[in-house]
Structure 1
Amino acid sequence: MKIGYARVSTDEQNLALQIQSLKKAGCAKIFTDKGISGGEFQRPGLQGAIDSMGEGCCLVVWRLDRLGRSISKLIDFLEGLQRRRISFLSLNENIDTQTSSGRLVFHIMAALAEFEKGLISERTKAGMSAAKSKGKIIGRRPLLTELQKAEAAHMLCTQKIPLAQVAAHYNVHPRTIKRHVQCAAQKREGA
């Protein structure tokens, strides 16, 4: 059984063209999401489509970008369908995982997504290494200086000032103070 899925990003957009194409493709049921971004795969209409499908069914979309924008997330999603023995058909791109050529296109997309992920990782590591060699600090700047950490520990431990009040004094979350005071206590124990 073919199950259709259609999505538009804003409430002003129209689903009519997608629904018409999905009906023409022979979809028995069509699930929709309106006003929802394609960035995430947690959508009520998409979940309804997936929940209604069993082994041997086929998820049909008008265009691949109606399912999602991120290639890596699309690959993960389609692999999940494949594990459940659910096929996939994108009408405009003519990707049909029931055919040899459709599976080939799917695997090429997966390989390209993995390659892109590797390139991004390599560039990130190279950039961080270059920054470190120039003496730049990598990562988030500390919210408290070493002096402020010591003062906060003194306020908490010696002066018995409540945690929330110490955090408010330094304009940070109480967890930040607690984490730094615990670190200070662990350093003293190790010394």
Structure 2
Amino acid sequence: MKYGYARVSTSDQDLTIQETALQKAGCEIIRGEKVSGTSREGRQELDTLLQFLRPGDSLLVTRIDRLARSISDLQDIVRYLEDKKVSLICTQQPIDTSNAVGKMFLNLLGVFAQFETELRKERQLEGIAKAKVDGVYKGRKQSYDH
């Protein structure tokens, strides 16, 4: 059986494009959530899907970065799927973990997803440092009263 997982990072983004692609790929059940992919924390829909999958099933995502943004999370998920004898398939990338070429592409794209996340974090920190020097950045507003 094919199960789909769709994810966007923020509540103002839309899951429709991913859900439509997963339906076209033959997914009978699709779980979606609006939460950051940089961590597994708080991703209840993904956890539910992972627990539900059975040997011979396939987990489909549109792109690998919808599943994980860090190589360690991706590897943990893939190991979990392999242990359950479940394949991972991406609809927009040449990934199908039921074969060697698909596994190779999975690992390559996982490295690039993590690299992109780390670059984004570096740019953010550089921007904050510059804003502090320019006197523009004052930090986050106090969230509680003393």
TM-score above 0.5, yes or no: yes
CA distance 1:8–1:108, change in 2 (3 Å) = closer
Output the CA distance in 2 between the equivalents of 1:54 and 1:67: 18
Output the CA distance in 2 between the equivalents of 1:104 and 1:63: 15
Output the CA distance in 2 between the equivalents of 1:106 and 1:8: 20
Which residue of 1 is the match for residue 130 of structure 2? none
Which residue of 1 is the match for residue 121 of structure 2? none
Which residue of 2 is the match for residue 87 of structure 1? 87
Flag the structure with more relative contact order, 1 or 2, with Cα contacts below 8 A and sequence separation at least 6. 2
Which residue of 1 is the match for residue 66 of structure 2? 66
**Matched-pair contact (CA < 8 Å) for 1:75–1:109:** no
Q: How many residues are treated as equivalent by the alignment? A: 112
Runs of 4+ in 1 over 2 A off after TM superposition: 103-110
Please give the root-mean-square deviation of Cα atoms over the aligned residues, in Å: 2.1
Q: Which has the larger radius of gyration?
A: 1
Say which structure is richer in helix.
Answer: 1
Q: Unaligned regions of 5+ residues in structure 1, if any?
A: 117-191
Q: TM-score, normalised by structure 2?
A: 0.69
Give deviations 1:11-69, integer Å, cap 9, x for gaps. Answer: 110000000000000001000111x1101123111012112211111110011111111
Output the CA distance in 2 between the equivalents of 1:73 and 1:25: 25
1:41 aligns with 2:45: no
> What is the Cα deviation at residue 108 of structure 1?
5.7
Matches within 5 A, 1:21-170: 21-34=21-34, 36-42=35-41, 43-106=43-106
**Matched-pair contact (CA < 8 Å) for 2:7–2:15:** yes
> What is the Cα deviation at residue 107 of structure 1?
5.6
